[in-house]
Chain A
Amino acid sequence: MMKKIWKRFIAFTLVGLAIVGIAGCGSKDTDNGEKTTAAEVAAAGETTDKTKGGETVIRVCWWGNQTRNDGTVKALEMYETEHPGIKFEVEFSDFNGYWDKLATQAASGNLPDIIQMDYRYIKQYADKGQIVGLNQYINSGVIETADVADSIMETGVVGSDIYGIVSGTQAMALLVNTDVMAEAGVTLPKQPTWDELFEAGKTVHEKTGQFLNIPSGDELNMLYMARAVGQTMFNEAGDGLGMPDETVALRYFTRLKETLDGGYHLSPEEVAEGSNSQLSNFAAGKEWCNFINSNQITNTISQCPDGLEYEIYMYPTEADAIQQPLFLKPSMFWSISKDSGNSEIAADVINYLTNSVEANKEALKGERGVPISSVVSKAIAEVVDESTARINSYVSEVAKIANKIDPPYPAAAAEVAKLISDLSDMVRYGEITPEDAANDFYEQATEILQKGAAK
């Protein structure tokens, strides 16, 4: 009797396992990860997609919001009109969800053909072979780069190949509320030094009660301070810091404390509150100046009360700077995934998005940043709105003096950024001295980077 029940039980289990077997066979293979297996699987998947009714299907994904979605879809449709036989399937989401989904798709060999890529991740994806090198298409002329500055093309370089075509450039800026500045009676040079900025900050606070806020949520600030004195945040190999000692870190942490003690910096509570708020402190009238990426200026201004006067100043440099810290930052790239069965066509599409004047004028409109082709960026000047026009002219000013970008971030960069953020908070809340913070930072960041490189 027991045997019969046992048989039943086994029968059920087998049925279940059979289902799982059909479903799961090969998934273990993917995990033990021959990339070839994943690619084969993907290719098999792609083949089914490829020949939908005789049309070639190209999948494109990006993050963004309505404006970008509408614009990009329109541009792709324009391409479809010129190239019958090609059909696009688009996938878009918000920024945070995008990376979760991309990683998951990468793990299962299911990446879309054309991927919007970010500077923070390009090295990881390239190193792990998830995106393909594009030199082959540039050299063969599929992707034309005649109108693009070399320095911009270089930003997509990882190792010895280019892995992403920049879709728009931006630069760090100092957005200043000129009404408040006028009220306080201060002026600033086009690119102030940090000391000049702090002097102005003191006066503005005395006269108007508004504050400064030095961003500390990631590594960018320290990175710029390092660049000004000829150092880089991460070294070329990605296994250590590009700073020979703690001087820059000490400067950075000390400034956080001094400005706070001086009374002209936002309190740590306000900083914490503001860091997550949708309404920027600048728009709320708590800060009179804002360290910001040029791409985001339009968003911030749209939140401000109507009629606010502003000016875009350059990100500060050091009094003892030996070079210009500013660089042109690629706002995002277009890359081609390894899972694409149609990389040649994908390259052509990227070329279109980069170089087509009509596509940019009518659809894309520089929403991702200043177009990299000088021809295109001139052409769209006529159709953009006021704030975008001001941003574009700022970026072109920066382009004249910009320095070479840092080497691409190693995978462990995210953890280092978090470390800086944590230590900054600790300094602000008075839990640690700037000296200790600089010390801890240097030690721990080095450790993190070494461990990361060993993987």
Chain B
Amino acid sequence: MFKRIKRFYAAANKETVAGYLFIAPFIIGFLAFSAIPILISLYLSFTEYDILGTPKFIGIENYVRMFTNDPKVWKTFGVTFFYAAISVPLKLIMALAVAMLFLKNNRFTGFMRGVYYLPSIMGGSIAVAVLWRRLFASDGVINGILALIGFPGNISWLGRKDTAIWTLIILSVWQFGSSMLIFLAGLKQIPASLYEAATVDGGSKPRQFFSITLPMLTPVLFFNLVQQMINAFMAFTQSFVITNGGPRDSTRFYSVYQYQRAFEFHEMGYASAMAWFMLLVIGILTALIFKSSTRWVYNESKDG
């Protein structure tokens, strides 16, 4: 038997074995902690389950109801989509711009990086919620500053249907620090020799940005894009604690509505169906980004 193992190990499939050995921790953890909950939640999406009782199988009724009899599903989906479509690009642009700004290493940039990163540390805590409400209140600081520069200083940002969502978008963009961090790490990985060669060849700074920096950053950009998109679609806390769905559901994220159905109306089955629909949407979008990535993402180590 020992010989067999030796032969097996020596074979060309050594890579497969090694592969599985390396990802074994993931497989074990996944099977133990995620696989069953995922399957159960899928099952629940086909049931009626009020958490306190037992699940009752009802086939695709939840999905039918979602698509034909619940306008809120679409309203909240639209709100979430709008939120993602606007906040993600803005966030990434800010993150990249500021990362580039503070690329050099000195005390000043080191400190400023920390300062610009601070907002993300605050996350979705209750303190941020209280803060944000005070800032955007009719008699709050933002209006105060606007009044100074001559704009009308009494806009009810949180109370108006058309502006409330922007307070959440601004919050998201304000917390661009995490993306900035990742861009910084990516920027640091770009070999300095490339830039030196370009300068010798007479390339201007903007030119260098577009022909060296951006292409080399694409894996990191790709990552940030996927990550932020998923986060935006699954956003919950900000909407929940700051506006609680806001005036006339204008800030009600899909996941907040889903939470309501699960825990306030005790319809866990329906909420599970909602979750799986969102998973499908995110999955499709992610797959699209992945597919397109072969065209624009630079991969040093991929063959061909």
Known: A33-B54, A411-B50. A23 touches B32 (CB 8 A): yes
Residues of A42-72 whose CB lies within 8 A of B: none
A418 to B244, alpha carbons, bound, how many Å? 12
Knowing A9-B20, A16-B27, A269-B156 touch, does A128 contact B137 (C-beta < 8 A)? no
Name which residue of chain A comes closest to B156, CB basis: A269
Closest to A22 in B: B32
Contacts of B53 in A (CB 8 A): 33, 128
Given known pairs A8-B17, A269-B247, the reply for A130 and B52 (CB within 8 Å) is: yes
B220-249 interface code vs A (CB 8 A; 1 in, 0 out): 000000000000000000000011101111
Complex Cα distance, B17 from A5, in Å, reads 8
Given A12-B20, A15-B28, A31-B40, A103–B248 Cβ distance below 8 Å? no
Contacts of B32 in A (CB 8 A): 16, 19-20, 23
Residue among B20, B53, B138 with the highest chain A CB neighbour number at 10 A: B53
* Distance between A126 CB and nearest chain B CB, rounded to angstroms: 10
B55 interface hit (Cβ, 8 Å): yes
Residues of A within 8 A of B185 (CB): none
Is B54 a contact partner of A1 (Cβ separation < 8 A)?
no
CA distance A23 to B16 in the complex (A): 29
For A418, list chain B residues within 8 Å (CB): 260, 264-265
Q: A403 at interface (Cβ–Cβ under 8 A)?
A: no
Q: List chain B residues, Cβ under 8 A from A15.
A: 28
- Judged by a CB distance under 8 angstroms, whether B84 is at the interface is no
Which of A271-279, A292-300, A369-377 lies at the interface?
A271-279
Complex: A16 Cα to B31 Cα, angstroms: 6
Question: What separation, in Å, do the CA atoms of A4 and B7 have in the docked complex?
Answer: 11
Q: B interface, how many residues as a size bin?
A: 35 or more
- B281 on the interface (CB 8 Å rule)? no
CB distance B17 to A103 under 8 Å?
no
In the complex, A278→B51 CA distance in Å?
31
A103-B51 in contact (CB<8A): yes
Q: A383 at the A/B interface (Cβ < 8 Å)?
A: no
Which A residues touch B48, using CB under 8 A? 455
**A15-B28, A23-B32, A429-B247 known; A276-B158 Cβ under 8 A:** yes
B8 at the A interface (CB under 8 A)? yes
Given contacts A9-B20, A429-B247, are A20 and B31 in contact (CB under 8 A)? yes
If A12-B24, A415-B265 touch, does A277 touch B137 (CB 8 Å cutoff)?
yes
Instruction: Tell me if B192 counts as interface (CB < 8 A to partner A).
Output: no
Task: List the A side residues contacting B246 at CB < 8 Å.
Answer: 272
Q: Complex formed: what's the CA distance from A33 to B258 in Å?
A: 24
Residues from chain A with a CB closer than 8 A to the CB of B265 are 412, 414-415, 418
**Contact in complex: A124, B138 (CB < 8 Å):** no
Contacts of B28 in A (CB 8 A): 15-16, 19
Question: Closest Cβ of chain B: how far from A438's Cβ, in Å?
Answer: 19
A107 adjacent to chain B (CB < 8 Å) = yes
Check A160 for interface membership: any CB of B closer than 8 A: no
A444 to chain B, nearest CB (A): 12
A217 (CB) vs chain B CBs: closest residue: B244
A130 to B54, CA, bound (A): 12
Q: Name A11's closest neighbour in chain B (CB-CB).
A: B20
B35 within 8 A of A: yes
A268 within 8 A of B: yes
Q: Residue of B at shortest CB range from A30?
A: B54
Check A19–B40 contact: CB distance below 8 A: no
> Which chain A residues lie closer than 8 Å to B8 at the CB level?
4
Cβ-defined contact, A99 with B130, below 8 A:
no
Chain B residues with CB under 8 Å of A19's CB are 28, 31-32
- Looking at the assembled complex, report how far the CB atom of A118 sits from the nearest CB atom of chain B, in whole angstroms: 13
B13 within 8 A of A: yes
0/1 interface trace, chain A 413-442, chain B, CB 8 Å (1 if under): 011001000100110010100000000000
Contacts of B188 in A (CB 8 A): none
Residue from B13, B24, B244 within 8 A of A5 (CB atoms): B13
Question: Contact check: which of B52, B242, B243 meets A125 at CB < 8 Å?
Answer: B52
Assuming the A-B contacts A268-B247, A270-B156, are A100 and B11 also in contact, with contact meaning beta carbons closer than 8 angstroms in the complex? Answer: no
Indicate which residue in B11, B133, B260 contacts A276 across the interface (CB closer than 8 Å).
Answer: B133
A273–B156 contact, CB under 8 A? yes
Q: Does A267 contact B (CB under 8 A)?
A: yes
Q: Which residues in B have their C-beta under 8 angstroms from that of A414?
A: 264-266
Please name the residue on chain A nearest to B244 by beta carbon.
A276
B137 and A273 within 8 A (CB): yes
Q: Mark B83-117, 1 if CB is under 8 A from A, else 0.
A: 00000000000000000000000000000000000
Say whether A425 contacts B247, CB under 8 Å: yes
Cβ distance B298 to chain A, nearest Cβ, rounded Å? 32
Return chain A residues, CB-CB under 8 Å to B243: 276
Q: Which residue of the partner chain B has the closest CB to A429?
A: B248
Contact of B263 among A103, A128, A271 (CB under 8 A): A103
Q: How far is the CA of A9 from the CA of B31 in the complex (A)?
A: 13
Is A106's beta carbon under 8 Å from chain B?
yes
CB distance from A127 to the nearest CB of B (A): 8
A185 at the interface (CB under 8 A from B): no
Q: Which of A15, A267, A273 has the most CB of B within 10 A?
A: A273
> Residue B16 contacts which of A5, A17, A35, A103 (CB distance < 8 angstroms)?
A5
User: Which residues of A (99-119) have their CB < 8 Å from a CB of B?
Assistant: 99-100, 103-104, 106-107
Q: CB within 8 Å of B: which residues of A?
A: 1, 4-5, 8-9, 12-13, 15-17, 19-20, 23-24, 27, 31-33, 35, 99-100, 103-104, 106-107, 124-125, 128, 130, 267-273, 275-278, 411-412, 414-415, 418, 422, 425-426, 429, 431, 455
Closest 9 CB pairs of A and B: A269-B159, A33-B54, A16-B31, A269-B156, A128-B52, A272-B247, A272-B159, A273-B159, A103-B51
A9-B20, A20-B31 given; 10 more Cβ-contact pairs under 8 Å: A12-B20, A19-B28, A20-B36, A23-B36, A32-B54, A128-B52, A272-B246, A276-B244, A415-B265, A429-B161
Interface residues of chain B, those whose CB is within 8 Å of chain A, are: 8, 11, 13, 16-17, 20, 24, 27-28, 30-32, 35-36, 40, 48, 50-56, 130, 133, 137-138, 156, 158-161, 164, 242-244, 246-249, 260, 263-266
12 pairs of residues in contact across A and B, judged by CB atoms under 8 Å: A1-B13, A20-B35, A33-B55, A103-B263, A103-B266, A130-B52, A270-B156, A272-B164, A273-B133, A278-B133, A411-B50, A422-B249
